[in-house]
Amino acid sequence: MHPLIKLVIQRLALGLLTLFVVSLVIFISIELLPGDVAQQVLGQSATPETLAAFRQKLGLDLPMHTRYLNWLGAILQGDLGTSLISGASITELLSERLYNTFFLAGFAALISVPLAVCLGVITALYRGTPLDRAINIVSLTAISVPEFFVAYILVFIFSVELAWFPSITNLSHDAGLGERLHRTFLPALTLTLIVTAHMMRMTRASLINLLALPYIEMARLKGASPARTIVRHALPNAIAPIVTVIAINLAYLIVGVVIVEVVFVYPGLGQLLVDSVSKRDFTVVQAACLIFSATYILFNLASDLISIASNPRLMHRK
Amino acid sequence: MHAALHEIRKIPPTALFGMLVITLYIIVAVFAPILAPYGESEIVAYEFEPWSSEYWLGTDSLGRDMATRMIYGARNTIGIALITTLLAFFIGCVAAFLSATLQGWVDQVISRAVDVVISIPTLIFALLLLTILGTSVYSLIGVIALIYSTFVFRIARAVAMGIVVMDYVEAARIRGEGLWWVMSREILPNAAPPLVAEFGLRFCFVFLTISGLSFLGLGIQPPAADWGSMVRENASLITFGDLTPLIPASAIGLLTVAVNFIVDWMLHKASGLKD
Amino acid sequence: MTLKLLNGSIGRRGFLAGSAAAVGLAHMPLPLRAQAQKGGTFRLSVNQGGTTDTLNPAEANGSQQIMVGWALRNNLTEIGSDNALHPELATSWSSDDAATWIFQLRQGVTFHNGKSLSPEDVIASLNLHRGEDSTSGAKSLLAGVTDISAEGDSAVRITLDAPNADFPFILSDYHFQIMPVGADGLLDMSGVGTGGYTLADWNPGIKTVLQRNPDYWKENAAHFDTVEVLLISDSAAATTALVTGEIDAVQSAEYRTLSQLGRDENIAIESISGGFHPTFAMQSGVEPFNNRDVRLALKYGVDREALVDRVLRGHGTVANDHPIAPTMPYFDPSIEQRAYDPDRAKYHLTQAGLDNLSVSLSVSDSLFAGAVDAVTLYREHAAPAGIDVQVAREPGDGYWSDVWMKKPFFTGSWGARPVPDMIFATAYAQNADWNESQFNHDQFQQLMIAARSELDEAKRGQMYSDMQVILRDEGGSVIPFFRNFVYARRTGVAHSENVASNWSLDGYKAIERWWAV
């Protein structure tokens, strides 16, 4: 069997194991959190009597391991279950939000990844020049501002002052692609500003790290232009760290956008997850976390595969 | 003496600027109680006083002196960020180099454990841990360092994987050098540049994580001042064109730029490029 | 003695239930609502709730559920824009002894599905909150009810285990919405009600769309054609959306941007005084709070005026360590207001045999806007008296289960109640589940029970005045202020000259009370 295929199969199997451990970690964490669903839903109006009735209704009076095994049994049969609080089907609850989350992440990634790599190459090429410094200062400033603040500034400029884009997304079910892009532009721009600098800086650093190596010197001595040297000779060898940092940022775009969702009232998974954690709605938290974990594991696998494929030494190791 | 002067003259102006800024920040942080005109949480006037000779940067929403809060904020913020980042890099790098050098089941166990932590959304994981552990400064540092160490691990491992297959590492192993020696003498110096770049950014991300946590009601305990929370407290004023939140935000921004200018210079030196 | 409380169909210039009623009022013309017109869309943002919110009123605990619930359904009684009790699905009520109550149901009212309102619907809807298996947050409010039965075809009889002259007020609570019994004999909680709006799209946590019910029984109500309820939890985002015209009203306006918001001529800010108040509650059975002098020292150590000025930007009134707000019936304005007096606080500390005192006060941002600021200021106020109040900011997550009533000294938060007995019985009675300050006072307890069946208004008023004094001087809670409801609307929507002060957004009933201009 080709070593790469073997690796993929091995990693997918390990991925399933990871998902299992994640579900266990999440389950235990939620058990350790103060309060349970009953207390969180009833809030200040909780009395011992009402709590007992509530717990019995939801089966929370069963022992911990029984509840976990029941949930695991269902999930192995492909049943994500129902929300503890509303009793609504989790598949239904998640599907639209999942789509929204991927839509926004995809939108932001389409802008930010090409932009970051290009800027990284340009700054490595013109390192030390005013252009390099200007790009670095702008991107570093963007990255050093808290994301909600970036969002507020963009809202101030593009919604309040210019009135070009709406300040909250407020999507209706039947919105067309054009309207969707218009309404999600500001959140996507916010995310772009947040992730671009990180990817760009890593691209630049990895490239510069290679420029003094003998084979690059060789290419230069052979008379290759600086741009050609970087794009044709340095970039392929810098792929591993660049792809790793891109994978981290893509995963972040899907998993970590809670605050941007809150500020733009964007109905994605992150907000649902925070809601569900604070209500201790364990089944919903589990489902959302498993989706996030699976996403991360796949991105991670893909970035490792690309790294290996790009490095012959790793590809053909003894 | 002359040699030292010569060295300094060789430093590019951007890096000198970075050093100057960082030195200033450190002085402010260390001598905060002497420099600050008022007490950290002292209420000195009405809320939102304009800038004046008495209140250099005006007063905040409770009538506390903004300049004083900024000065004490330097102390709290930089201290916490530095300790957290160092801790995260220590944990992350040791784990990554062990993984890369030993490979096999050690690599699998550590990598999968990191996968578990990193695949749980950062804010959610921090929320879970901080709610369980309580919100003291120590648990804040510990939790953020733990989460960040997983990101450091990913990058350090990717870089180290490329290094351990190099001939000189192979040679060192054949010579019979110990594991720690290989990690600290062979891998670390060669992996340093991308890690230094990552350090420059992670250091500044700590402020952002703390302010993100204050979005969820966690973070540093009041009345202690920290820049991240000061941005959060005043952030909504910006939608009316009020510039107050820009003060702590630019303090963070300036530090980020300064740190990364130095990082750039170090990268350049490490690369051995002469231009 | 006979207690006869009768209410006819009355408009917003109504009267307090409990006063002698005139049946003839039923035929009085409805007061004109200034140019209330039909039509338009109303988009409002609420800030409490989540994706997993249900339409089950027993589980309602946030503004999203309450406002949508009240657009879809009615109660038996309601608090009107004038803050008085009004009939809703009950047209009148009466009791001979304040322990057995007969509620006459409104005739000719139908649910959205065409079923007409019957006593069975009312009985099933109220029983949702009773009995051992009930998981209702309002279970304790109906704990004194021993029986609910039909009285003919158009009335319901409710029997209490002890007299309670304020019982009709209790039924105006947002939990007690009336729903139809379905063909299967179970309550239909899908959103079918008798209210002014029908449910077009229930998408909690995001956006809920409501359509006007053309057959609504209530006159001069439900003016908008369509209503959208958006959940926006970030107050800055909500404010901006209001400024840019994405929404027409916000449930809560941030204090720190109020002055900027006020400069916008398209926006009107409402600041409505009410009974919403925080408490700095001590476990008064525990050291050091079991010493009356320590409690008094902590009460003298807070500068209430400064808190109202700084934390609330003036949108509130100082409180006097008891929960009866000036807007509530039986508030006694003659009781001397406690002032900030660090020397006096120091004196009480010395009386308690202490030189100084260090306590940790738990608080969370999630309680109300400015909660942490209030405690931070309290720390500064108390310092000159030798009291060190450490600010313990707790996460909002888990506050009610792990901090509230668990820590020795913590911040509580209480909504407005229409009558004193409802807050006394909930938070200050000897065996109340939510007696957060472990208040244990025999004389107070006796007065509280006696007042429930006291039908002489003057005597009743004196009793409530005495109880306010007892709480002020003996109680275990520092109650610094009553907070206004501060919310904002675009001037494209209007309301009548009064707005209710029991909740934000016109008592959470802006959907049926406001109109587009």
Which residue, chain included where needed, has tokens 């269902």? Answer: A74
Return the pLDDT at A128.
Answer: 80
Asked if the peptide bond before residue A241 counts as cis, ω within 30 degrees of 0, the response is no
* Residue appearing with tokens 């001087």: C473
Of C236, C364, C395, the CB nearest to B236: C236
Residues in chain B where the model's pLDDT stays below 50: none
Reply yes or no: is the peptide bond before residue B222 cis, omega within 30 of 0.
no
**Partner-chain contact A263 C133, CB within 8 Å:** no
Distance CA C478, CA C282 (A): 8
- Could you list the residue range(s) of the whole structural domain that residue A61 is in? 3-76
Quick check: B124 and A208 CB within 8 A?
A: no
- The mean of the pLDDT values for chain C is 88
Q: The tokens of B199 are what? A: 């350090």
pLDDT for C21? 37
Q: Is residue B174 in some structural domain?
A: yes
Q: Please state, for a pLDDT cut of 70, what percent of chain C lies above it.
A: 93
Least confident among A301-305, B133-137, C195-199, C406-410:
B133-137
Strands in C314-356 per DSSP E = 316-318
- In the block, tokens 């998974």 appear at A269
Residue C467 has pLDDT above 60, yes or no: yes
d(CA C178, CA C176): 6
Q: Are residues A110 and A52 in the same domain?
A: no
A147 and A68 assigned to the same domain: no
B156 found inside a domain: yes
Question: Which whole number is the average pLDDT over C439-461?
Answer: 91
Judged by CB atoms closer than 8 Å, whether chains meet at A265 and C404 is answered as no
Residue B274, pLDDT score: 54
Question: Which CATH number belongs to the domain containing residue B157 in this structure?
Answer: 1.10.3720.10
> C381 pLDDT exceeds 80?
yes
- Please report which confidence band the pLDDT of residue A7 belongs to, taking 50, 70 and 90 as the band edges: confident
Q: Which residue, among B60, B65, B211, B240, would best test binding to C if mutated, counting the most C CBs under 10 Å from its CB?
A: B240
pLDDT of residue B39: 82
Nearest alpha carbon to residue A74 among A10, A37, A23? A23
Q: Do residues A61 and A109 share a domain? A: no
Distance from CA of A254 to the nearest CA of C (A): 19
Task: Identify whether B29 is part of a domain.
Answer: yes
* Cβ atoms of C300 and C436 closer than 8 Å: no
CB–CB of C95/C163 below 8 Å? no
> CA of C130: which chain A residue's CA is closest?
A50
Which stretch of B221-230, C19-28, C182-191, C436-445 has the lowest confidence by average pLDDT? C19-28
Which residues are CB-neighbours of C147 under 8 A, at least 6 positions away? C157, C158, C159
**String of b and e for C331-346 (b: at least 16 CB within 10 Å)?**
bbeebeebebebebbb
pLDDT for A72 equals 87
Over 60: is that where the pLDDT of C7 sits? no
Task: Please tell me the least confidently modeled range out of A27-36, A186-195, C259-268.
Answer: A27-36
CATH number at residue A202: 1.10.3720.10
Give me the torsion for CA of B39, B45, B50, B51, rounded to 10°. Answer: -30
Residue type, B21: V
Amino acid identity of C258?
L
Number of structural domains, chain A?
A: 2
For position B32, what pLDDT does the model report?
Answer: 86
Closest-CA residue to C381 (of C330, C332, C341, C436): C341
Confidence band for C247, pLDDT divided at 50, 70 and 90: very high
Helix locations, C336-441, DSSP H: 342-351, 371-382, 399-402, 420-427
Residues A288, A166 share a domain: yes
Sort out which chain A residues have CB atoms less than 8 A from B249's CB and list them: 144-146, 149
At C196, the pLDDT band (50, 70, 90 cuts) reads: very high
Residue B216 has a pLDDT of: 67
Position B191 in a domain: yes
Q: Quick one: tokens of C362?
A: 């738990």
Look at residue C475 and give its three-state secondary structure: coil
Residue of A nearest to C436 (CA): A44
Range of the domain at B214: 14-271
| Subunit contact B124:A307, Cβ cutoff 8 A | no
Best of C51, C403, C404, C436 to substitute, by most chain A Cβ atoms within 10 angstroms, is C51
pLDDT for C35 equals 65
* Mean pLDDT of all residues in A42-59: 78
The answer to the question of residue A87 being in a domain is no
pLDDT tens, residue by residue, C313-365:
899 999 999 999 998 889 999 999 999 999 999 999 999 999 999 999 999 88
Q: Is the Cβ pair B115, A313 closer than 8 Å?
A: no
pLDDT digits (tens, 9 = 90+) for C359-379: 999 998 878 888 988 999 999
Kindly report which listed range (B88-92, C1-5, C445-449) carries the lowest average pLDDT score.
C1-5
Could you tell me where the DSSP H helices lie in C356-454?
A: 371-382, 399-402, 420-427, 442-453
Same domain, A108 and A62: no
Q: Are residues A33 and A174 in the same domain?
A: no
Read off the tokens for C108.
Answer: 């000719």
Q: What local confidence, expressed as pLDDT, does residue C315 receive?
A: 92
Give me the mean pLDDT over the C506-517 stretch: 94
Per-residue pLDDT tens for C469-495?
999 999 999 999 999 999 999 999 999
DSSP string over A164-231:
-S-SS----TT--HHHHHHHTHHHHHHHHHHHHHHHHHHHHHHHHHHHTSHHHHHHHHTT--HHHIII
Q: Which residues from B are below 8 Å from A137, CB to CB?
A: 257
Closest to A278 (Cβ–Cβ): which among C139, C140, C397? C397
**B133 within some domain:** yes
Contact assessment for residue C42 and residue C516, using Cβ atoms and an 8 Å cutoff: yes
pLDDT-derived band at C444 (thresholds 50, 70, 90) equals very high
- B236 occurs within a structural domain: yes
Do A302 and A170 share a structural domain?
yes
- Check if A263 contacts C (Cβ < 8 Å): yes
Same domain, A138 and A285: yes
Q: How many residues are recorded in chain C?
A: 517
User: Which amino acid type is present at position C408?
Assistant: P
**Six-digit token pair at C20?**
């002698």
Task: Identify residue A312 by its one-letter amino acid code.
Answer: P
For C431, residues 6+ apart whose C-beta sits below 8 A from its C-beta are: none
Q: How far is CA B86 from CA A137, B111, B129, B152, in A?
A: 24, 21, 20, 11
**Matching residue, tokens 């006007």:** C212
- The answer, yes or no, to whether residue C64 has pLDDT greater than 60, is yes
- Would you state the structure tokens that stand for residue A133, as one six-digit string? 């410094």
3-state SS track over chain B: CHHHHHHHHHCCHHHHHHHHHHHHHHHHHHCHHHHCCCCCCCECCCCCCCCCCCCCCCECCCCEEHHHHHHHHHHHHHHHHHHHHHHHHHHHHHHHHHHHHHCHHHHHHHHHHHHHHHHCCHHHHHHHHHHHHCCCHHHHHHHHHHHHHHHHHHHHHHHHHHHHCCHHHHHHHHHCCCHHHHHHHHHHHHHHHHHHHHHHHHHHHHHHHHHHHHHCCCCCCCCCCCHHHHHHHHHHHHHHCCCCCHHHHHHHHHHHHHHHHHHHHHHHHHHCCCC
ipTM score assigned to the predicted complex: 0.81
In chain C, residues with a C-beta closer than 8 Å to the C-beta of B44 are: none
Q: How far apart are CA B122 and CA B163, in angstroms?
A: 29
Domains in chain C and their CATH numbers?
5-30+74-192 (3.90.76.10), 36-48+195-271+487-517 (3.40.190.10), 277-483 (3.10.105.10)
B contact test, residue of C397, C399, C403, C411 with most B CBs within 10 A: C397
- Of A86, A168, A275, Cβ closest to residue C246: A168
Taking an 8 Å cut-off on Cβ atoms, the answer to whether A53 and C134 are in contact is yes
CB B204 within 8 A of CB B256: yes
| Residue pLDDT, tens place only, A213-224 | 788 778 878 887
Contact assignment for B124 to A289 by CB distance below 8 Å: yes
C239 interaction partners in chain B (CB closer than 8 Å):
236, 239
Instruction: Give the pLDDT of residue C19.
Output: 31
Evaluate whether residue A85 is within a structural domain.
no
Residues A146, A223: one domain? yes
Residue A84 lies inside a defined structural domain of this protein: no
Per-residue model confidence (pLDDT) at position C192: 95
Phi, psi of C332 (to 5 degrees): -105, 105
SS3 category, C278:
strand
User: In terms of pLDDT, which residue wins out, C90 or A282?
Assistant: C90
| Maximum alpha-carbon separation in chain A | 84
Strand C155-160 with C100-105, pairing: antiparallel
A135 and A171 fall within a common domain:
yes
Strand-strand pairing, C277-282 and C477-478: antiparallel
Residues of A with Cβ-Cβ distance to C138 under 8 angstroms = 45
Burial (0-12, 13-18, 19+ Cβ within 10 Å), C9? middle
CA-to-CA distance for A131 and A125, rounded, in angstroms?
10
Q: What is the pLDDT of residue A313?
A: 67
Cβ separation B119–A240 shorter than 8 A? no
Q: Could you say which of B41, B131, B242 has the minimum Cβ distance to residue C376?
A: B41
For the stretch A267-297, pLDDT in tens is: 888 888 888 887 888 888 888 888 888 888 8
If asked whether residues A72 and A208 sit together in one domain, one would say no
Does B1 fall in a domain?
A: no
In the prediction, which pLDDT does A10 show?
A: 85
Do A57 and C133 meet the contact criterion of CB atoms below 8 Å apart? yes
| pLDDT reported for residue B184 | 82
Q: Is C364 on the interface with B (CB under 8 A)?
A: yes
Amino acid at position C322, single letter = H
Q: Are residues A125 and A196 in the same domain?
A: yes
A88 domain residue, yes or no: no
Q: What angle do CA B147, B153, B159 make, to 5 degrees?
A: 150
- Residue in A39, A148, A167 nearest the CB of C240: A167
Asked whether the beta carbons of residue C380 and residue B43 sit closer than 8 angstroms, the reply is: yes
Rg of chain C's alpha carbons, rounded to an integer? Answer: 23
Instruction: Name the pairing type of β-strands C277-282 and C493-494.
Output: unpaired
Do the Cβ atoms of C208 and C201 come closer than 8 Å?
A: yes
CA-based nearest distance B88→chain A, Å = 17
Establish if B6 belongs to a structural domain: no
Residues in A closer than 8 angstroms to C247, CB to CB, are: 168
Residue B128's identity, in one-letter code, is L
Question: C339's torsion region: left (phi>0), alpha (psi -120 to 50) or beta?
Answer: beta
pLDDT band at A317 (very low <50, low <70, confident <90, very high): low
Chain B residues with CB under 8 Å of A149 CB are 231, 235, 238, 245, 249
pLDDT of residue C359: 95
Q: Which chain C residues are closer than 8 Å to B244 by Cβ?
A: none
Domain count, chain B: 1
